[in-house]
């Protein structure tokens, strides 16, 4: 899959320069003029880095970032005018990953984007799967930014299902992921953990039926 960068910027001259620089480096780049549009695009998925102008006409960039962080861990780089530099700390507190002050060279911005992408590719970092954020190093999974308090086995099951959304995993395959040795009854064990997992998804506000039962086959996570 190509790397896709979203730039939310209402000044089309700036946006065009950035789009050109990103595309000439082989990246896919999408553009939107409004904060609400940016939120819709990020929600749609497939965005690797968001470049976000602080001074957007509808929602300011800080508000857009705050709303993105409610459901996504996608890296965010703010673009800010000089007189907005005072807000730097606020932006970082809101979960921005980097900051570029205008005027900037498109080349510099591309370098910052690349730096973010390298970090995202690091094995310890967050993996995003739709509404879910997986922190492999910490064995934690979040749903729309909310941490799910999972046991070791629930984590193993959900992490396995999230590897390939839509694919059906047999109970034995799921056992292979999280258990050192097979218990006497793989079926019962997995079913029990799926049941508690669904309850935790429901408690977090997610649809518990995202984990679908396939009679005689196993379980899948609906994409």
Q: Return residues touching Ca ion (CB under 5 A).
A: 10, 53, 55
Residue with nearest beta carbon to Ca ion: 55
**Closer to Ca ion at the Cβ: 55 or 130?**
55
CB of 150 to Ca ion, least distance (A): 41
CB of 2 to Ca ion, least distance (A): 27
CB of 39 to Ca ion, least distance (A): 16
Place of tokens 């997610």: 206
CB of 10 to Ca ion, least distance (A): 5
**Closer to Ca ion at the Cβ: 55 or 165?**
55
**Closer to Ca ion at the Cβ: 102 or 119?**
102
Q: Report d(CA 158, CA 194) in Å as an integer.
A: 9
**Closer to Ca ion at the Cβ: 53 or 128?**
53
CB pairs under 8 A, 24+ apart, for 57-63?
Answer: 57/10, 57/33, 58/34, 59/34, 59/35, 60/35, 61/8, 61/35, 61/91, 62/87, 62/90, 62/91, 62/94, 63/35
The helix or strand, by DSSP H or E, that contains position 203, with its residue range, turns out to be: helix 186-204
CB of 24 to Ca ion, least distance (A): 23
Q: CA 144, 162, 186 angle in degrees (round to 5)?
A: 125
**CA 213 → CA 38, 168, 198, 216, distances in Å?**
35, 9, 11, 9
């Amino acid at each position: 899959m190509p790397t896709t960068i979203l730039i939310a910027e209402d000044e089309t001259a700036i946006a065009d320069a950035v789009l050109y620089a990103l595309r000439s480096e082989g990246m896919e780049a999408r553009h939107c003029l409004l904060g609400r549009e940016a939120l819709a695009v990020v929600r749609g998925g497939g965005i690797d880095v968001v470049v976000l102008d602080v001074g957007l006409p509808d929602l300011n960039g800080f508000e857009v970032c705050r709303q993105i962080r409610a459901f996504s861990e996608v890296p965010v780089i703010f673009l800010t005018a000089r007189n907005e530099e005072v807000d730097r700390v606020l932006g970082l507190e809101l979960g921005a990953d980097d900051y570029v002050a205008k005027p900037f060279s498109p080349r510099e911005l591309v370098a910052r984007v690349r730096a973010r992408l390298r970090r995202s590719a690091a094995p310890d970092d967050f993996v995003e799967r739709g509404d879910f954020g997986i922190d492999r190093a910490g064995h934690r999974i979040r749903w729309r930014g909310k941490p799910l308090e999972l046991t070791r086995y629930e984590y193993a099951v959900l992490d396995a299902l999230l590897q390939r959304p839509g694919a059906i995993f047999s109970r034995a395959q799921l056992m292979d992921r999280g258990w050192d040795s097979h218990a006497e009854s793989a079926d019962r064990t997995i079913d029990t953990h799926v049941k508690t997992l669904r309850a935790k998804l429901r408690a977090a506000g997610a649809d518990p039926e995202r984990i679908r039962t396939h009679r005689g086959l196993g379980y899948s996570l609906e994409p």
